[in-house]
């Protein structure tokens, strides 16, 4: 018996995962199957933080946050539209009335970036989708919600090609339909001085190299620094019909 074998025996063993834990992990995978392989969630966090303090999954809530740009149709991996050089045009961000069979529950549109929208909604079912549409490809997004367990936030990019994201952890929050949710969305222009999620990992301060960490603490500061820009975006909450 060498040191490694001894070490393996000396470290206390752990109980196997409970069926609920396995079920929750499997459900996250099921939710993830809707996303193409190789795609990563936006932002530095794997999901909404509050899910980490949740107990085992009790409902198969599906909360999809979809970042879209380029119009109300379903996302399609196409190149940005070719526009006449002399006719400036802004892709529509008007949300469609339905999304993947879900009906629209709440929606709001902002005419400028470096601005925020706060939506209050109470889901009527365990199937909920949140869809952001940004006219400026590469817009930076911050989503946050304050609740009893603290603050949950996630950041990402409003992509030009219908990039999708899903805050998987959020999908398994117990009591999803039993309370009103107040979620704040910030959208910043693509050239905003915001650290990329990759660089952010190596930055322990609020700012590095003149760029901010994107969080609820810094969003207002970044917005004030930039000033609003005429780049429309919208957010819509979809829910399953009863």
Partner 1 sequence: MVAHPGPGPQAGAGEWSPHEDFSRVFDAHFAEIHRYIARRLDTQTADDLAADTFLIAFRDRERFDPSRGGIRPWLYGIATNLLARHRRDEVRRWKALSRTAAGDDQESPEGAVTAKVSAQQVTGSLAGALAGLAKRDRDVVLLLALGDLSHAEVAAALGVPYGTVASRLNRARKQLREALGDVNPLKEALDG
Under a CB-based contact definition with an 8 Å cutoff, are residues 154 and 216 in contact? no
d(CA 115, CA 92): 18
Query: Cα separation of 222 and 239, whole Å?
Result: 32
User: Which H, E and C letters describe 126-185, residue by residue?
Assistant: CEEEEEEEECCCCEEEEEEEEECCEEEEEEEEECCCCCEECCHHHHHCCCHHHCCEEEEE
Phi, then psi, of 10 in degrees rounded to 5: -80, -30
By the rule CB under 8 A, 150 interacts with partner 1: no
Closer residue to partner 1 (CB): 16 or 210: 16
In angstroms, give the least distance from the CB of 33 to partner 1.
8
Judged by CB under 8 A, which stretch of 30-38, 79-87, 207-215, 224-232 contacts partner 1? 30-38
28 lines the binding site for partner 1 (CB under 8 A): yes
Chain position carrying tokens 């222009």: 189
Q: Is the Cβ of residue 31 or residue 132 nearer to partner 1 in the bound state?
A: 31
SS (H, E, C) 187-211: EECCCCCECCHHHHCCCCCCEECCE
Count of residues interacting with partner 1 (CB under 8 A): 34
Among positions 155-174, residues that touch partner 1 (CB under 8 A) are 168
Site string for partner 1, 3-22 (x = CB under 8 A): xxxxxxxxxxxxxxx---xx
Near partner 1 in 32-91, by CB under 8 A = 32-33, 35, 37-40, 46, 52
Strand 127-134 to strand 62-68: parallel, antiparallel, or no bridges (unpaired)? parallel
Shortest Cβ 201–partner 1 spacing (Å): 9
In three-state secondary structure terms, 103 is strand
The residues pairing with 38 across neighbouring beta strands, listed in sequence order, are none
Instruction: Kindly tell me which of 12 and 84 has the beta carbon lying closer to partner 1.
Output: 12
Closer residue to partner 1, CB minimum distance, 104 or 151: 151
Residue closer to partner 1 (CB basis): 10 or 224: 10
Taking CB under 8 A as the rule, does residue 198 contact partner 1? no
Note the residues at the interface with partner 1 (CB under 8 A). 1-17, 21-22, 24-26, 28-29, 32-33, 35, 37-40, 46, 52, 168
């Amino acid at each position: 018996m060498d040191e490694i074998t001894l070490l393996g025996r000396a470290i206390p063993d752990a109980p196997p995962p409970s069926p609920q834990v396995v079920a929750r992990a499997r459900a996250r995978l099921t939710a993830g199957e809707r996303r193409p392989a190789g795609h990563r969630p936006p932002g530095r966090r794997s999901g909404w933080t509050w899910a980490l303090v949740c107990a085992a999954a009790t409902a198969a809530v599906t909360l999809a946050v979809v970042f879209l740009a380029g119009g109300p149709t379903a996302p399609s991996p196409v190149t940005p539209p070719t526009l006449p050089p002399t006719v400036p045009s802004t892709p529509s961000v008007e949300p469609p009335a339905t999304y993947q069979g879900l009906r629209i529950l709440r929606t709001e549109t902002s005419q400028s970036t470096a601005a925020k929208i706060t939506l209050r909604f109470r889901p009527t079912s365990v199937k909920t989708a949140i869809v952001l549409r940004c006219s400026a490809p590469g817009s930076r997004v911050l989503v946050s919600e304050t609740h009893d367990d603290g603050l949950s936030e996630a950041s990402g990019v409003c992509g030009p090609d219908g990039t999708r994201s899903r805050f998987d952890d959020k999908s398994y929050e117990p009591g999803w339909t039993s309370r009103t949710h107040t979620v704040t969305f910030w959208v910043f222009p693509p050239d905003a001085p915001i650290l990329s999620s990759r660089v952010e990992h190596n930055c322990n301060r609020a700012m590095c190299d003149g760029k901010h960490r994107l969080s609820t603490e810094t969003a207002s500061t970044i917005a004030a620094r930039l000033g609003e820009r005429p780049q429309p975006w919208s957010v819509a909450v979809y829910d399953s019909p009863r």
